[in-house]
Structure 1
Amino acid sequence: MLAMPVLLCGIMLATACTKPANDSPAAKARASAEAAEVANALLNFAKCMREHGQNVPDPDPATGELRIPPPSSHERGSPWDVATQACQHFLPGGVFNPPPNAQELEQLRAFAVCMRAHDIDMSDPETSGADIGKIEIHGRLANATRAEADNDPVYKAAMEACRDKLPASANGGTK
């Protein structure tokens, strides 16, 4: 399934999205190298967070996912905030966003409803646990790469129609 971590909520970073654009040996090697680089970055992020006193597990070796339970505090200057500021440079893209609040979850739900109304089979956002805010695309685009979905005319039209429903923190979120 194509995951849509519009907020990297409760953080789920996956290396599975590094599917090669074609099946050539060079593309496969490039995708494998990118996946290894992301996996190493996530491992370093987890280690750094632990060095800063936060209970963050290593990425799952089988899936490459890093699942972090939502912290109890997101206040500026909290131990969690200090740790994420110190360690976010390890993240692919150097971005860490906290889990969505109730208003953002409602906006994500409205976005998912809109996308479904525009023929994109999409789940409502997770509302609890480590994957809070995560949205998955099902159906014909479930196994599509980001580029494939972004080039799909139905998906493009749905994003155009529904983008304004996303919370500002989603950064225009796509998969």
Structure 2
Amino acid sequence: MKTIAPNTNYYLLSIKILIFFLFILFIVQGISRLQDYYEYSGIPITMTSLIDIVTSKSYFRPALLLVIPTIGIFLQEKIGWVFMVSYFYFLLTNALYPFTKEYVNDYRMILFYILISGLVMLLLVGMNKKSIHLTKYHIQRENLMLSNIIAFVIGVSMTIYLAYARG
């Protein structure tokens, strides 16, 4: 009895599992931070205090940014691919953001950002393979550039939101 179809693309499956795992991890981390906040502050848990803390603190911001690619996991259409790829563009632009804000002079940090950017670029190249964009999501080669531009705009928008929310 096989549980995985014989034509399964394991690369795409691993990307989906990674995104879903990160989403769950960031939700659990946000709940843990929220519990710590209430434990140390002594504020009683009420609906108004909960809404105030969730909107004023950044405990759930990483999970909020992962909502779009997590929705993309479950959509087997062009929009699902765009949502998942937009997260990689977000990671890429978010890794490059410190270079626009300040001069980074630590060679270890520069090497780290280059390594992260290279890893994200490999993931983007993998998502743009014919076996994924054409076979699984039915995105024709003519529409691939437009889909990447839309994903890039969504990813950059998430980076701008994060930069604006940081202050």
State the TM-score, normalizing by the size of structure 2. Answer: 0.31
State the TM-score, normalizing by the size of structure 1. Answer: 0.30
Flag the structure with larger Rg: 2
- Greater helix share, 1 or 2? 2
The structure, 1 or 2, with the larger RCO (C-alpha pairs under 8 Å, 6+ apart) is 1
